[in-house]
Structure 1
Amino acid sequence: MKKKKRLGLKIGIGVLVLLLAALAFAGNYLVDFAIVRKEEAKDVAPESTVTAENQAVIEANTEKIKEQTAQWLTNVRQEEAQLESEDGLQLKGDVFWTDPDSHKWLIAVHGYTGRRQDMQDVAGFYGLQGYNVLTPDMRAHGESQGKYIGMGWLDRKDVLGWIQYVIDLDDQAEIILHGISMGAATVMMTSGEELPPQVKGIVEDCGYTSVWDIFSDELSYLFHLPDFPILYAADGIAWLRAGYEFKGASALEQVKKSQVPILFIHGSEDNFVHTDMVYELYEACQSPKEILVIQGAGHGEAYKMDPNLYFDTVFTFLEKECS
């Protein structure tokens, strides 16, 4: 009888060990899939629900915007920027001097698996308004060092460093942060930190409420799995490997602490970072705020769907709330 009990106990322990090993494997796989550096842009978004008619508008506007950007780039002085992060990574960026006498500055923050060049189109619109521009590569992206993608949480401290970089260039700088997708989450997460008075406002475009929330959505539509137990395992593994937890990396909690004005922008047809998130973020924000939802636009396409409405709203907001 005792032998049978011992055998049953051993089998039970063996099964438990196997389950824990499988869970650790799955959690590690999710961390590798989601936040280990990618050498090429990774498309993890679901199939777009943007109509063919609206997609044609987006493509036509994109072509015009690219022409505007190319013209702007021929008229500015560009220089490389470099910064060391708090944890010793070498981060790279570009500075565009539209007008050396201007104290208006934009720090433009790109999205997941993107690079600093992705923000040049947005930068061009600011350049036409007299802004000098800094476009950094986020850690683990482009020419910046790093093994793990920060999803905005690690990057918020890097953005604080880039803010100081601009202030060192121009101690009278009036700085706007503008991010798209992960870049939007980054600038929102930065908003909850203690910011120098030179930071005047933030524009976030299609940012997510938290890293946990966006990964929960991805786990559901990519793998058809619930949060428990894999996302919980990955959360702990991310803390051990990358130094942050998905649940703690919350733009929603950070905007509650923001002292600077925030403009929240989203596309109505965004089925990657769901449009519902922008309303949650807007409601949570306690600083001066506005919201703009561009009808017909998918993820990251709001300024391409209706550039006039988008940038008229941006610069009207900045003039009203941030001057």
Structure 2
Amino acid sequence: MRRVSRLFVAVLIGVGLGMLIVTDNALHPARQLAPAPRAADYVARNTASSWEPGQVTTSDGVTLHAWYFAPLKPNGSVVIALHGVGDTRLGMLSHATFLLTDGFTVLLPDLRGHGESGGAIVTYGIKEAGDVRYWVDWLFQKRGTARLYGIGQSLGAAVLLQSLSTEKRFRAVVADSPFATFEEISYDRLGQISRIPPLTFWPLIRLGFIYAQLRYGLDLRQASPSVAIRATSVPVLLIHGARDTNIPLRHSEELHAANPNGTQLWVVSGAEHVASLATSPERYISNVIRWFNSHQ
């Protein structure tokens, strides 16, 4: 009996330590190298635009970097485009290309903890949402921005939505494949890895969140696009792939239900995670452009 008890305790300790490692890995995703300027040159050549680097420093001392693209014939509107977790601004070049072609000025930042930007950890919107405000200030104070819009994918979409809690200068935004809350996607992710019903992981999720609070001072329950979207008056177009198994469609459905009058949901048939542009490029581009142009 003692042997069984010891084995049970050992298993619990092992699982608990494993969860701490999982939490640390989530806060420190594999980091890609800083994007090479030749990628910006390529986009500029193909869209008859120019580009220059941008930089801001946050109140906690993190330096953030971006590329600022200006089309040959600007339409007076600027779009901030935010990439997903573990990616860089390179992941939004396809979006920048069609926006520049239509006359939009585009800012492509690397989120904190990604690419060229500083930041030791990724906080899933807790700090990144505030970073958006620094970029908005930069655009309005140094670039004379008149109309501002935003588009993001996955983590970038979740960050963009969370920024709406304090940033009111967006005319409209597009959120492609966002999560509703970090807590909910945490359950989904563990369920995807183990094939065990997500609610089984409640003690482990709680342990991981307590660890993040104690070690990093982060309350990951605050990473909640759902809370932000309920209160915002900024129009939001939600886009989600019907076959998304990374962040299930349910997340965008919940976000739409949280503010049905201020949001629209477009479900892209056959699209997997952040693949709606590739799956239905003509409709994607026309829907995004129409959404921005209808909120001037």
Q: TM-score, normalised by structure 2?
A: 0.87
Q: Match for residue 17 of structure 2?
A: 25
CA distance in structure 1 between the aligned counterparts of 2:242 and 2:107, rounded to whole angstroms = 29
Q: Match for residue 203 of structure 1?
A: 174
Three-state SS of the structure 2 residue aligned to 1:213 is helix
What letter is aligned with 2:182?
Answer: V
Q: Match for residue 39 of structure 1?
A: 31
Say yes or no: does 1:255 pair with 2:229. yes
Relative to 1, partners in 2 of residues 1:172 and 1:149: Cα closer, same or farther, differing over 3 Å? Answer: closer
Deviation at 1:18, TM superposition (A): 7.4
Three-state SS of the structure 1 residue aligned to 2:96 is helix
Deviation at 1:99, TM superposition (A): 4.0
Deviations 1:2-58 (A, max 9, x none): xxxxxxxxxx9x9999788656523421222211142249xxxxxxxxxxxxxxxxx
Q: Tell me if the contact between 1:267 and 1:302 (Cα under 8 Å) persists in the aligned partners.
A: yes
Relative to 1, partners in 2 of residues 1:241 and 1:136: Cα closer, same or farther, differing over 3 Å? Answer: farther
CA distance in structure 2 between the aligned counterparts of 1:272 and 1:77, rounded to whole angstroms = 35
Say yes or no: does 1:303 pair with 2:295. no
Say yes or no: does 1:212 pair with 2:183. yes
Q: Match for residue 56 of structure 1?
A: none
Unaligned runs of 5+ in 1: 1-11, 42-65
What letter is aligned with 2:191?
Answer: S
CA distance in structure 1 between the aligned counterparts of 2:243 and 2:13, rounded to whole angstroms = 40
Q: TM-score, normalised by structure 1?
A: 0.80
Deviation at 1:188, TM superposition (A): 1.0
CA distance in structure 2 between the aligned counterparts of 1:222 and 1:313, rounded to whole angstroms = 34
Relative to 1, partners in 2 of residues 1:228 and 1:123: Cα closer, same or farther, differing over 3 Å? Answer: same
Aligned counterparts, 1:217-228, within 5 A: 217-224=188-195, 226-228=200-202
Deviation at 1:224, TM superposition (A): 4.6
Q: Match for residue 133 of structure 1?
A: 106
Deviation at 1:190, TM superposition (A): 1.1
Q: Tell me if the contact between 1:107 and 1:134 (Cα under 8 Å) persists in the aligned partners.
A: yes
Runs of 4+ more than 3 Å apart: 14-24, 69-74, 99-102
1:234 aligns with one of 185, 208, 220: 208
Q: State percent identity of aligned pairs.
A: 25
Q: Tell me if the contact between 1:204 and 1:264 (Cα under 8 Å) persists in the aligned partners.
A: yes
Let me know the Cα RMSD of the aligned residues. 2.6
Q: Tell me if the contact between 2:78 and 2:145 (Cα under 8 Å) persists in the aligned partners.
A: no
Say yes or no: does 1:282 pair with 2:256. yes
What letter is aligned with 2:174?
Answer: V
Relative to 1, partners in 2 of residues 1:167 and 1:90: Cα closer, same or farther, differing over 3 Å? Answer: same
Relative to 1, partners in 2 of residues 1:73 and 1:236: Cα closer, same or farther, differing over 3 Å? Answer: farther
Relative to 1, partners in 2 of residues 1:237 and 1:152: Cα closer, same or farther, differing over 3 Å? Answer: same
What letter is aligned with 1:281?
Answer: L
CA distance in structure 1 between the aligned counterparts of 2:165 and 2:221, rounded to whole angstroms = 16
Deviation at 1:72, TM superposition (A): 5.4
Deviation at 1:77, TM superposition (A): 1.3
What letter is aligned with 1:143?
Answer: E
Relative to 1, partners in 2 of residues 1:222 and 1:123: Cα closer, same or farther, differing over 3 Å? Answer: same
Deviations 1:79-122 (A, max 9, x none): 11111122111111110111475421010000010001111110
1:94 aligns with one of 58, 67, 70: 67
Deviation at 1:194, TM superposition (A): 4.0
Give the length in aligned residue pairs. Answer: 283
Deviation at 1:245, TM superposition (A): 2.2
Q: Tell me if the contact between 1:192 and 1:258 (Cα under 8 Å) persists in the aligned partners.
A: yes
